[in-house]
């Protein structure tokens, strides 16, 4: 056996543990979901289970509730990711320019990220509940009557966006802060010498230089926001009606509340494909911007 063949064999042996892990933990579950999606499987009447082929997928294409869940997921994703990047970048710039006496405050900003999602959902639900001294009480201090937040689609969706944004701002902030502090100082010193100030330096030097990091953070947070479940489950349960029901929550309800496991598997596989397409698109955007920067 030649040296090249031995090397190739060694590489394959080293890859085997990773390939086995991927197969067991990823490929087999996905295959099981695909097979289940081709049936009308139900735990209530297992004797009536049968193969339906693409019937579930045709049903999904005519399911207005599924398309509503996609719309809700995209609204939540757009709202939370935009706010996380805007506030996270602002805090990163603030902490980057802070005095040494205030370095300890960085730890405080990281606290929301360390709190379990269920606890975050409970706290924010209480804060938005009109009968509890929270958001509405603070609004009343400045003469603004607070609404019944969970009774209207727009305000209920707003509560979910606020809670999810609050929890993950620290993650965005710490990544962007690391990117900003790793930038070379020469461009900034040259800009100051040329007469540039504050906002000009930020928009023309800082943002373009951290653009790959911004795109990476946006991609990651979009993926995570599309997987949101616990906050919606605790805060709104998808209501009022189905106005705050994202894709994951609809798949969960279909599978376990309505006991349509075959159709639920179809929804799960469709969600996976949607997320994969978004990831591929965002990855391509990141690569193009990295090459051009």
Mean pLDDT score, 268-285: 88
What local confidence, expressed as pLDDT, does residue 98 receive?
64
Residue 121: pLDDT over 70? yes
Of 209, 222, 221, 220, the C-alpha closest to 292 is 209
Distance from C-alpha of 143 to C-alpha of 190, rounded to nearest angstrom: 49
Kindly indicate the confidence band of residue 267, based on its pLDDT and cuts at 50, 70 and 90: very high
**Which residues have CB under 8 Å from 293's CB, separation 6+?**
208, 209, 211, 212
Q: What is the CA radius of gyration of the chain?
A: 24
Kindly indicate the confidence band of residue 285, based on its pLDDT and cuts at 50, 70 and 90: confident
Phi, psi of 39 (to 5 degrees): -125, 175
What local confidence, expressed as pLDDT, does residue 175 receive?
94
Phi, psi of 146 (to 5 degrees): -75, 145
Mean pLDDT score, 208-226: 91
pLDDT tens digits, 125-142: 999 999 888 899 999 999
Higher pLDDT, 11 or 290: 11
What local confidence, expressed as pLDDT, does residue 59 receive?
95
DSSP output for 26-91: IIHHHHHHHHHHTB---SS-GGG--B-TTHHHHHHHT-HHHHHHHHHHHHHHHHHHHHHHHHHHHH
Angle, nearest 10°, between helix axes 117-128 and 153-181?
Answer: 130
Distance from C-alpha of 293 to C-alpha of 121, rounded to nearest angstrom: 39
Mean pLDDT score, 142-171: 94
Of 207, 186, 192, 195, the C-alpha closest to 93 is 207
Higher pLDDT, 286 or 156: 156
Of 127, 131, 146, 148, the C-alpha closest to 239 is 148
Of 242, 222, 234, 237, the C-alpha closest to 124 is 234
pLDDT tens digits, 25-59: 888 888 999 999 999 988 787 777 889 989 999 99
pLDDT tens digits, 79-111: 999 999 999 999 998 888 765 555 666 778 788
Distance from C-alpha of 88 to C-alpha of 93, rounded to nearest angstrom: 9
Residue 145: pLDDT over 60? yes
Residue 213: pLDDT over 80? yes
Residue 4: pLDDT over 90? no
Kindly indicate the confidence band of residue 171, based on its pLDDT and cuts at 50, 70 and 90: very high
Residue 242: pLDDT over 80? yes
| Other CB atoms within 10 Å distance of the CB of residue 139 | 13
Mean pLDDT score, 67-82: 96
Q: Domain 36-292's class?
A: mainly alpha
């Amino acid at each position: 056996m030649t040296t090249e063949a031995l090397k190739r064999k060694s590489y394959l042996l080293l890859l085997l543990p990773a390939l086995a892990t991927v197969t067991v933990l990823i490929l087999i579950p996905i295959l099981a979901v695909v097979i289940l999606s081709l049936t009308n499987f139900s735990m209530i009447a297992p004797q009536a289970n049968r193969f339906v082929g693409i019937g579930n997928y045709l049903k999904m294409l005519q399911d207005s509730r599924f398309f509503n869940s996609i719309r809700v997921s995209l609204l939540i994703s757009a709202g939370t990711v935009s706010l996380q990047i805007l506030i996270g970048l602002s805090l990163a710039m603030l902490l980057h320019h802070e005095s040494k006496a205030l370095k300890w405050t960085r730890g405080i900003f990281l606290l929301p990220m360390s709190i379990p999602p269920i606890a975050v959902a409970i706290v924010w639900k209480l804060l938005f509940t009109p009968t509890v001294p929270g958001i509405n009480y603070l609004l009343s201090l400045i003469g603004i009557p607070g609404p019944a937040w969970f009774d209207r689609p727009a305000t209920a969706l707003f509560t979910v966006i606020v809670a999810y944004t609050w929890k993950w701002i620290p993650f965005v902030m710490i990544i962007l802060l690391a990117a900003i502090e790793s930038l070379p100082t020469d461009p900034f010193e040259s800009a100051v010498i040329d007469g540039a100030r504050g906002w000009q330096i930020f928009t023309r030097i800082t943002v373009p230089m951290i653009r790959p990091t911004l795109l990476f953070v946006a991609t990651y947070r979009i993926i995570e926001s599309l997987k949101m479940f616990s906050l919606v489950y605790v805060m709104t349960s998808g209501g009022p009606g189905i106005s705050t029901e994202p894709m994951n929550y609809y798949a969960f309800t279909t599978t376990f509340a309505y006991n349509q496991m075959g159709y639920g598997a179809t929804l799960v596989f469709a969600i996976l494909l949607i997320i994969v397409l978004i990831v591929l698109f965002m990855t391509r955007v990141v690569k193009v911007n990295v090459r051009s920067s």
